[in-house]
Structure 1
């Protein structure tokens, strides 16, 4: 028996998708209607000898798929993305839910941790107010500072491009002093371009920016100006505990700035991590690093599919339940 999941706005609509795709002999394995009015999901199957469907193969067990579905829903993952991940998981022979999810994550998302060595291009962190951009700048700088020869000058330059928040420059200066990094200030694109001409290409350049409301076009235009002037590698920073659908909308709104990666902070204060998945998908962003604690010394943790699967599926829930209860029962 082979499984496939269907999602629609209502249970009747999902059942109709099953009928159209698998035919009248499909076996309904499980149904689930979301309490938050986010639609309905039907898991269906058909005996492989009845028809030859290309999307069926020897994939994960029903129990593993149910475990992954339950976990992703607990994290608040948008239903269409849950379905996309389940489909991506269908061609693996992994024997655990965690490994199966890792396989799916690797197929659906790109993972690109931030560099651990100095050099161009400049890295600019952007995001809404209060997501921890300044601390993340310091953590990224510390990653380089702690690995270089202590007899040499620290190959890190921090640029404070946040003229809005009171104390922003002073906070970044304090981090720069502790790390032995050089601090520069740039209030606009022209100033940033000028500063970059004075920095060695062998240095890691990290740019801190104002907390930005992406729905205010003037604020967004300021970031676009900085990104274009600095020819930056732009990283969107979001907190992990944010509502997943809201995170997706924010990532979409920041698209004009040209961010290519997603960094997530505040994982020590979040139990639901669907925002990471939703934002990465909506913004077409590579998942880079996460911050597991606010302290500078805790650093940033690079992400790959396996590491993210471990965060999404704690050890206590890594394996399928033995009760045989279907999705939504």
Structure 2
């Protein structure tokens, strides 16, 4: 199948572009609102068997369609089992499976990587070129303070001047925890009683730790909304892996509405169900770095589709899926 992405101001315009380009037999694989814009993105596919040629006649590749359909079914079954184990929401799972089966890769892990690359955006922070302060936000217990310490350590190792600001002054031990790290890194640490009192230094990469927040408390969100609305910071939502998929999606949508655009997963090493992360990213948040270890010096990884697939489909699962595909192929040959 041929996969193509369309961008338009409205869903109606995007759908018309799909019909004009791929014809009435096009399959809608996924739809998404683009962050930082008023555009929508529609991913569609069409099988060459149904693609109209320049003279209006259909190609005759339908002769091989039955075998290809069976292979797609086997691949879809492996990926569906994987997503079910991770408690991925039905709507998200359907998009991933649809995209994976039309990409054309023969192995399940390859198809899953391709689908994740197409459906989600991966944009790890480049600390050497980062201009705006990074504001770490999220629910209580998500791991924001440790994420700030890890990011500050990475900056120091890359010889990037870094400054840490904590607005998490009410939590017992919050400031002391950061102070212990910043003393070792020999970087400045500033306390701010409120987000409104924060000031920035142009000579530093500034990392801002915030107090855990209830995303369903509108009053508690107002100070956060004020600082993000100024456009002077890049806000990243720190979210632990293992949360309920629907809950993660709701939380992500709320932070998206405030102007948060980035998602930093934590606890990848201690979570076995990652459906919540896919649910959060399906809201439109962009995958940034991820925390995969309690080790501060090497606890962040630049997340991409391959790494995420490794967590979704560990090597043991890949061996099983490979055996399943081989068995199916032998049955066909016999």
TM-score, with normalisation over the residues of structure 2?
0.74
Report 1:84-95 matches (<5 A): 84-95=95-106
Measured in 2, the distance between the counterparts of 1:271 and 1:141 equals 28
Q: Which has the higher helix share?
A: 2
**SS of the residue aligned with 2:297?**
helix
SS of the residue aligned with 1:298?
coil
Once residues 259 and 314 of structure 1 are traced to their aligned partners in structure 2, the CA distance between those partners, rounded to angstroms, is 31
State whether structure 2 residue 171 is matched by structure 1 residue 160.
no
Question: Which runs of 5 or more structure 2 residues have no equivalent in the other structure?
Answer: 2-23, 26-46, 53-57, 329-334
Is the contact made by 1:143 and 1:299 (CA closer than 8 Å) also made in structure 2? no
Alignment-derived partner of residue 296 in structure 1:
296
Is the contact made by 1:125 and 1:236 (CA closer than 8 Å) also made in structure 2? yes
Shift in Å, 1:144:
1.1
1:20-39 to 2 correspondences below 5 Å: none
Query: How large is the Cα RMSD of the aligned pairs?
Result: 3.0
Distance 1:229 1:170 in 2: 29
* Aligned 8 A contact 1:67 1:320 in 2: no
* 1:11-90 equivalences in 2 (<5 Å): 61-90=72-101
Do the aligned partners of 1:248 and 1:279 also contact (CA within 8 Å) in 2? yes
In 2, the alpha carbon distance for the partners of 1:94 and 1:267 equals: 27
Q: Which residue of the partner structure matches residue 316 of structure 1?
A: 316
Counterpart residue number, 2:254: 253
How many correspondences in the alignment? 271
Residues 136-194 of structure 1: CA distance to partner in whole angstroms, max 9, x if unpaired? 0010111110122xxxxx600101112331222222121111111111122234411xx
Moved more, 58-67 or 292-301: 58-67
Higher RCO (C-alpha 8 Å, min separation 6) = 1
After superposition, give the CA deviation of every residue in 1:180-221 in whole Å (9 maximum; x if it has no partner).
1111122234411xx21xx134x2111000100011112111
The equivalent residue for 1:216 is 217
TM (norm. structure 1) is 0.75
